[in-house]
Amino acid sequence: MSVTVRFAPSPTGHIHIGNARTALFNWLFARQNDGRFILRFDDTDAERSKAEFAHQIAADLRWLGIEPDRTAYQSRRMDAYQGAAEKLKRAGLLYPCYETPDELERRRRIRLSRKLPPVYGREALKLTEDEKAAYEAEGRTPHWRFLLPNFDDDPFAPERTDVHWADIVRGPQGVDLASMSDPVLIRGDGSYLYTLPSVVDDMQMEVTHVIRGDDHVTNTGAQIALFEALGGEAPAFGHHNLLTAASGEGLSKRSGALSIKSLAGAGFEPMTVASLAVLTGSSTAISAMADMDALTEAFDIGAASRSAAKFDSADLDGLNETLVHGLAFDAVRDRLADAGIDVDDRRAETFWAMIRANVKKVPEAADWWPIIVAGPTDEAALDGDDLDYARNAFDVLPEGEVDGTTWKAWTDAAKAQSGRKGRALFMPLRIALTGRAWGPELSDLLPLLGREEILRRRP
């Protein structure tokens, strides 16, 4: 069977760099295996899920360079989940429970005081039909739990039952089904928690590999049991380590910190963000990959480390700068246009080749464009000796066409004329030409300006 993966965010906020890690692990794994990538919105929580978040997540993935082969919404697949729930109920594997959160908490404390594991004791399995009817008459609606296969004949005597799988990230894994409570699959209001819909979708969408964060390892034990209860075969699983903020704190969709949207808005390159999202917390050296092909090649799903990895947003700057310095004009043309640069101007391409070494982010080039085409935007601060020197120096600009050799010839002439050298020699000229004390190589700038424009800038 060909490889099929899915990225399954719940659209309850903006995805952050840690979610992008999961999406990219799936995307790169699919690319390495000639597989398919499904974007599946886990939006069964009608109250918290918002269409605008789903749109933004799709846009964020596009920005990162991920193009799903299919997009699905769990909210539109309720019939499938209901069918699966009915099947489990008929088999006696999904049972109604009426406890309130307070009652559950009280029982949990009693179990702890008796040195029993604080898991659900399956008391609801003992309810008679009359007792259930009485609860319903009281206005209680049941929530439904999945009876985990962790016992021989007596559900009240669970035994150690290890579920094993060969995790494609972490290696051999096992979870003891007796160490957990029967999971609630359907809430009291009839809505589904993610556990059952996820398994039903993975079966019906023929997902071959579930790649997700290691906060789901325990769920995997219960989900493998669910696959079997529904007559399906569990896919392969891979659980990668999570990213935390530099402070060690977990990333949250709700806080908006390090959201893909905000990183895009801050002018970072998609490949900077993608490279860091994937390579942080792995044994592969971190560098900014030029494109998705390079990242696909560098990606090794088994290289992710076991423990949580700190994502330091300061790393974004350095990596982005390196990447930007190597970007060709065609790769940034649209963004330069968005930033207000006339990309059809005959100078635009040469301008980019020159200025990219002076910017950390592509949009910063827009600062320089008016300086090149129209003149200094800051007031040139030349006075006294420097002003006199610069004026005289403009008189010895070499004759003829201005090219890459002009700057050297010009400063040689200005040096002979003034006796200045080093900074005192070139800085007044830089300031006269650009209004700034730093910037692009002047040997590159002069041909871009041309003779007439240079002389027009004589202070």
Amino acid residing at 279: L
**Contacts for 113 with CB less than 8 Å, ≥ 6 apart:** none
In terms of CB distance, is 41 or 394 closer to ligand GLU?
41
Amino acid residing at 186: I
In terms of CB distance, is 309 or 359 closer to ligand GLU?
309
For 96, the token pair is: 């109604």
For 78, the token pair is: 């309720």
According to DSSP, residue 162 is labeled: E
In terms of CB distance, is 7 or 299 closer to ligand GLU?
7
Q: Which of residues 193-222 bind ligand GLU (CB under 6 A)?
A: 194, 198, 210, 212, 216
**Cβ 227 to ligand GLU, closest distance in Å?**
13
- Tell which one of 4, 5, 9, 64 touches ligand GLU (CB under 6 A): 9
**Cβ 426 to ligand GLU, closest distance in Å?**
56
**Cβ 450 to ligand GLU, closest distance in Å?**
56
**Cβ 222 to ligand GLU, closest distance in Å?**
12
Q: Which of residues 26-55 bind ligand GLU (CB under 6 A)?
A: 42
**Cβ 124 to ligand GLU, closest distance in Å?**
27
Say how many CA atoms lie within 13 Å of 113 toward its Cβ: 6
Alpha-carbon gap, residue 189 to 143, rounded angstroms: 8
Alpha-carbon gap, residue 125 to 32, rounded angstroms: 47
CA distances from 327 to 64, 262, 279, 432, 440 (A): 16, 22, 21, 29, 16
End-to-end CA distance of the chain: 73
Alpha-carbon gap, residue 167 to 174, rounded angstroms: 10
**Of the ranges 2-10, 168-176, 185-193, 418-426, which one interacts with ligand GLU (CB under 6 A)?**
2-10
Report if residue 10 touches ligand GLU, rule: CB under 6 A. Answer: yes
User: Which residues lie across from 176 on neighbouring strands?
Assistant: 162
Alpha-carbon gap, residue 187 to 237, rounded angstroms: 26
**Of the ranges 4-12, 59-67, 270-278, 350-358, which one interacts with ligand GLU (CB under 6 A)?**
4-12
**Of the ranges 8-16, 87-95, 103-111, 366-374, which one interacts with ligand GLU (CB under 6 A)?**
8-16
Would you say 193 and 185 are in contact if contact means Cβ atoms under 8 Å apart? yes
Is 253 annotated to bind a ligand? Reply is yes
Report if residue 77 touches ligand GLU, rule: CB under 6 A. Answer: no
**Cβ 219 to ligand GLU, closest distance in Å?**
7
Residues making contact with ligand GLU (CB under 6 A): 8-10, 42, 194, 198, 210, 212, 216
Binding site feature residues for ATP: 253
Binding site feature residues: 253
